Amino acid sequence: MKLLCTIDFMEIKRYTDERMASTLKIQSCVLETVHRVFREEGFTQIMPVILSTTTDPLGPDPSASTIKKGEIEYLGQKLVLTQSMILHKQMALMGKLSKIFAVSPCIRLETPDRGATGRHLFEFSQVDFELGGAVMADVFGLMEEVLCEVLKDVKTKCHRDLTLLGRSLLVPTIPFKRFTTHELKEKYGDDWEASASKLAKEPFWVLCHEREFYDREDPKRPGHFLDYDLIYPEGFGEALSGGEREWEFDRLVKRITGGGKSTEEYGTYLDLAKKGKLRPSAGGGFGVERLVRFLTGAKHIKQVQLFPRVPGEEVHI
């Protein structure tokens, strides 16, 4: 770990740099547009959850790389810091709301080597959304609209900031291209995401990842999954992960235990599933900082975070 006892010149420059100011103006514009589009599409914004009895396990996704969950003890109860709001999003749809989103802080204690990817932070924010009774096509349409609206707004409202950062942006054509992980693996090998992203000029979808228990396995084609990632072009890599969800108790238990996890830590969530309270849904989450990195063309994601939280680097404030 790089340890610094006092704040150095580069660190002070971060707070005073005009590039950082332009980056933050672009981020502000992104948040405004995201809120506008989600509201126009009938979503209700819910507040993020930071402490819970349980959170997204992030595994057995092979690309997950956290050392451990963040934990605190409060009045004798052990609570974990949110890795993602997926379980709470499913529970939030049990009532009258059928479209929800949150801008949700996530703590993921990533391994130090992730600091070098240019894409990983150990604290970041996600726009996390879920639609009751929806299927993946609904998410594709929504997310394509969100991204195109963000690009249009940033291009027009933040023209000067983009010029200062030396970045020009294209609004992609809708619908975005779709591939499966199987075809991309065959073409580019295991590192398909980096290669395909580098070669792409526009964002694209990648379907069918075997990962966390809550992403639905295709009942008609076991071993295939009704989930997806959105990938940015120009080598910026993954933008969003999401999926249609599992909601039935028996299937959830099978997926949790099949992935080598114990059902114990999912007590209340599984109780609700057993009572038939969870409902079918589809959704996704995209990282705010990753989106701003793509929009600004920053080499490393830490260039867009005012108070950087980079795996392997000491926190100053």
Sites of contact with Mg ion (CB under 5 A): 241
Of 84, 90, 104, 305, the residue at the interface with ligand AMP (CB under 6 A) is 84
Q: Which does 239 bind (CB under 5 to 8 A by kind): Mg ion, ligand AMP, none?
A: ligand AMP
Least separation, in Å, of the C-beta of 275 and ligand AMP?
27
Alpha-carbon distance values, 203 to 111, 167, 242, 249, 306 (Å): 28, 17, 15, 35, 26
Nearest partner of 37 among 137, 136, 152, 118, judged by Cα: 152
Q: How far apart are CA 69 and CA 260, in angstroms?
A: 17
Among 29, 46, 226, 239, contact with ligand AMP (rule: CB under 6 A): 239
Nearest distance from C-beta of residue 122 to ligand AMP, angstroms: 6
List of long-range contacts for 38-47, beta carbons under 8 Å, 24+ apart: 38/101, 38/129, 38/146, 41/99, 41/142, 41/145, 42/99, 43/99, 43/100, 43/101, 43/129, 44/97, 44/99, 44/100, 44/101, 45/100, 45/101, 45/102, 45/103, 46/92, 46/100, 46/101, 46/102, 47/102
Q: Does 238 bind ligand AMP (CB under 6 A)?
A: yes
Residue selected from 104, 197, 241, 296 as contacting ligand AMP according to rule CB under 6 A = 241
Quick check: 255 binds ligand AMP (CB under 6 A)?
no
Residue 121's binding partner among Mg ion, ligand AMP, none (Cβ under 5 to 8 angstroms by kind) is ligand AMP
Site membership for ligand AMP, residue 287 (CB under 6 A): yes
Binding-residue total with ligand AMP (CB under 6 A)? 16
Span near ligand AMP by CB under 6 A; candidates 17-25, 97-105, 179-187, 279-287: 279-287
Contact string 197-236 vs ligand AMP (x = CB under 6 A): ----------------------------------------
Residue 289 interacts with, from ligand AMP, Mg ion, none (CB under 5-8 Å by kind): ligand AMP
Residue from 153, 289, 302, 310 touching ligand AMP (CB under 6 A): that is: 289
C-beta closer to ligand AMP: residue 117 or 274: 117
Which residue in this structure is represented by tokens 């020009």?
Answer: 168
Q: Is 38 in the site for ligand AMP (CB under 6 A)?
A: no
Candidates 15-23, 72-80, 119-127, 169-177 — which segment interacts with ligand AMP by CB under 6 A? 119-127
Rule CB under 6 A: is residue 104 a binding residue for ligand AMP? no
**Alpha-carbon distance 210 to 9, whole Å?**
45
CA distances from residue 164 to 22, 118, 160 in whole angstroms, order as listed: 8, 21, 6
Q: How many CB atoms lie within 10 A of CB 107?
A: 19
Strand-pair partners of 228: 207, 242
Return the bridge partners of 205, or none: 178, 230
Euclidean distance between CA atoms 59 and 284, whole angstroms: 16
List residues binding ligand AMP (CB under 6 A): 84, 108, 110, 120-121, 124, 126, 238-241, 285-287, 289-290
